[in-house]
Amino acid sequence: MLAFIGGTGLTRMDGLTVIHRHNIDTEWGEPSAAVVEGELAGKRVLFLARHGDPHVLLPHQVNYRANVAALKQAGASEIVAVNAVGGITARAPTAAIVVPDQIIDYSYGRETTYFDKRIAPVVHVDFSWPFAPSLRQRLLSALSKVDAQAINGGCYGATQGPRLETAAEISRMESDGCDIVGMTGMPEAVLARELELPYAMLSLVVNPGAGKSDREITMEEIEAVIHAGMGKVCEALTALVADA
Ligand code: HPA
């Protein structure tokens, strides 16, 4: 079953008819919210609100291990994660929807693996290409049916938050090769890889990264873009399910 992880601006999904709410406890603790099983475009899907429902958890407070494990326990076979991001390069203008193909992780102090229980053998998963190519292609094809600017590829830089970056940090991230910046892509993506769940991301650009415009970044500005953009994201997810 296809599973969605909704980020800021996507705590509940338009068009999803709820069938069951799974209150799942995992070996790694409790997920951010109940895993919602529902019907979208006539098919069964799972949905989890990354920051809780209501939205209360900051990016570094999210129990990513419990979230990904809970989706697997509820029957997920692949995950599409949605997040709001800042744009760094010209490739990622505000309001565009990026399907990234790479990640650089700048976050710290998070639980980043399921393999820390001293079980033999030690496992090092391959993460050269963090996103599942075929799921990315399906997402791009779904996005082509929606009136939105879709961007194929880009590097997602995962920062710790909850504060936004300094202009110098964004400039360093740009030299590193990052196109977009967000706070939740890691360790979520690698945990999905460890559980062998194909994973891809839809990143809605909601503001220019720090120092990339001459205005201060305000929550009002971000919320206005999120409001319009998440509607398009939901349309794309519905098209993805309809095509599956
Ligand atoms: N930086 C980090 N995370 C974000 C941003 C940003 O500018 N915008 C939305 N999420």
> Does 198 sit in the ligand 1 pocket, CB within 6 Å?
no
Rounded to the nearest angstrom, the distance between the alpha carbon of 23 and the centre of ligand 1 is: 30
Average pLDDT, the chain: 95
pLDDT for residue 221 is more than 90: no
The reported pLDDT for the residue numbered 120 is 67
CATH of the domain at 43: 3.40.50.1580
pLDDT for residue 108 is more than 70: yes
Rounded to the nearest angstrom, the distance between the alpha carbon of 205 and the centre of ligand 1 is: 8
> Does 185 sit in the ligand 1 pocket, CB within 6 Å?
no
Provide the number of structural domains found in the chain: 1
Rounded to the nearest angstrom, the distance between the alpha carbon of 145 and the centre of ligand 1 is: 26
> What is the tens place of the pLDDT at every residue in 42-69?
999 999 999 999 989 999 999 999 999 9
For 140, the domain range is 2-243
pLDDT for residue 125 is more than 90: yes
> What is the tens place of the pLDDT at every residue in 206-219?
999 999 998 888 88
> Does 165 sit in the ligand 1 pocket, CB within 6 Å?
yes
Q: Among 5-9, 83-87, 175-179, 196-200, name the one with the lowest average pLDDT.
A: 5-9
pLDDT for residue 138 is more than 80: yes
Nearest-CA residue for ligand 1 atom 5 is: 86
> What is the tens place of the pLDDT at every residue in 140-176?
999 999 999 999 999 999 999 999 999 999 999 999 9
> Does 164 sit in the ligand 1 pocket, CB within 6 Å?
yes
> What is the tens place of the pLDDT at every residue in 96-105?
999 999 999 9
Structure tokens belonging to residue 59: 């990016």
> Does 212 sit in the ligand 1 pocket, CB within 6 Å?
no
* More confident: 218 or 238: 238
Q: Annotate the chain with three-state secondary structure.
A: CEEEEECCCCCCCCCCEEEEEECCCECCECCCCCEEEEEECCEEEEEEECCCCCCCCCHHHCCHHHHHHHHHHCCCCEEEEEEEEEECCCCCCCCCEEECCEEEECCCCCCCCCCCCCCCCCCCCCCCCCCCHHHHHHHHHHHCCCCCCEEECCEEEECCCCCCCCHHHHHHHHHHCCCEEECCHHHHHHHHHHCCCCEEEEEEEEEECCCCCCCCCCHHHHHHHHHHHHHHHHHHHHHHHHHC
Rounded to the nearest angstrom, the distance between the alpha carbon of 186 and the centre of ligand 1 is: 14
Nearest-CA residue for ligand 1 atom 2 is: 182
